[in-house]
Amino acid sequence: MQIYRSPVNKIAFWVIIIGGAICLLIPLFMPFLPLQYLKEYGEIGDVIGGVSNPFVQILGSVVLFLALKAQIDANGILHQQIEKENIKEQLRHELNQLHELYMFVERNIKNFSYDQEKVVDGKSQMILLHSRRAIKCFIEDLENLDVDIHKDGDVLMFDGVKEIMSILYSVELFFNKIKDSEIAPYHKNFYKTLMQHELLFSVFPYQELDNQAHLRHEPCDECGVYHANYPPLIYDRLQEIKKSFI
């Protein structure tokens, strides 16, 4: 029975049983007791009532205690349920934030555009590129322009570089959010894998794919460090983001 699961409830239960039994038995056995002298103070019914009242009051106190305790327990259970709902709501909110951050990065990559100059049949034409293709072609053409890609101030003059850096900043915010989040590990791994896939095939240099084929890359002639055809400003940021894949 539920009443026996708590020592306090068990004691109160037996007090009610024993007290109730005494209240029933006293009126039955009182006439057989040698209490004739009590007649001087009133009728036997008054005596019985006077004797029974303390027990009834005790029983009432016990019942009141049980009612108050049950109310306190119910309030505690309600508070725990509210706390659990608040935690669930917080986790849902964090998941929604991660999803929105991922969609924000994905939209920015898709919206990246670049006018590439192509020579077709001896004529120069401008072709508007979008998304990952635009990013790759922009990086390739940036290296061929009369600009020192090792100077951050020079490369930041191009809007395309600023857009890519903005995307990478959002990606860092995304991984920091995952790191500090209390969501389940499988949710974290899911979104990390999604973002990793998006970056590897959209922003990262093809070196990431070449490494899987064990292809050797030569370092830069100017700085002696391999950074593909990417400006070091972008490449170094990509390498920092890559650490979040683990």
Tell me, yes or no, whether 80 and 144 share the same domain: no
In a domain, 51, yes or no: yes
Report how many domains make up the chain.
2
pLDDT of residue 210 exceeding 70: no
Angle at 208 between CA 202 and CA 214, to 5 degrees: 150
Tell me which of 96, 131, 155 is where a domain ends: 96
Tell me, yes or no, whether 10 and 44 share the same domain: yes
Contact 134, 114 (CB under 8 A): yes
Tell me, yes or no, whether 177 and 80 share the same domain: no
What is the DSSP secondary-structure string of 8-19? HHHHHHHHHHHH
One-letter amino acid for residue 33 of the chain: L
CA–CA gap between residue 16 and residue 21 (Å, rounded): 8
Structural domain boundaries enclosing 123: 112-245
Tell me, yes or no, whether 121 and 228 share the same domain: yes
Q: Does residue 125 sit in helix, strand or coil?
A: strand
Q: What is the pLDDT of residues 102-147, one digit of tens each?
A: 999 999 999 999 888 777 667 778 888 888 888 888 888 887 777 7
Q: What is the pLDDT of residues 159-209, one digit of tens each?
A: 888 999 999 999 999 999 998 888 888 888 999 999 988 888 888 876 554
CA–CA gap between residue 200 and residue 189 (Å, rounded): 16
pLDDT given for residue 60 in this prediction = 75
Q: Binning pLDDT at 50, 70 and 90, where does residue 35 land?
A: low
Is the pTM value of this prediction over 0.95?
Answer: no
Q: What is the mean pLDDT of residues 4-21?
A: 69
CA 139 to chain centre: 37
CA–CA gap between residue 78 and residue 71 (Å, rounded): 10
CA–CA gap between residue 25 and residue 44 (Å, rounded): 15
pLDDT given for residue 70 in this prediction = 81
What is the DSSP secondary-structure string of 73-107? HHHHHHHHHHHHHHHHHHHHHHHHHHHHHHHHHHH
pLDDT of residue 41 exceeding 50: no
pLDDT given for residue 167 in this prediction = 92
CA 50 to chain centre: 64
Tell me, yes or no, whether 91 and 145 share the same domain: no
What's the token pair of residue 61? 């106190």
In a domain, 105, yes or no: no
Contact 178, 164 (CB under 8 A): no
pLDDT of residue 14 exceeding 80: no
Tell me, yes or no, whether 123 and 233 share the same domain: yes
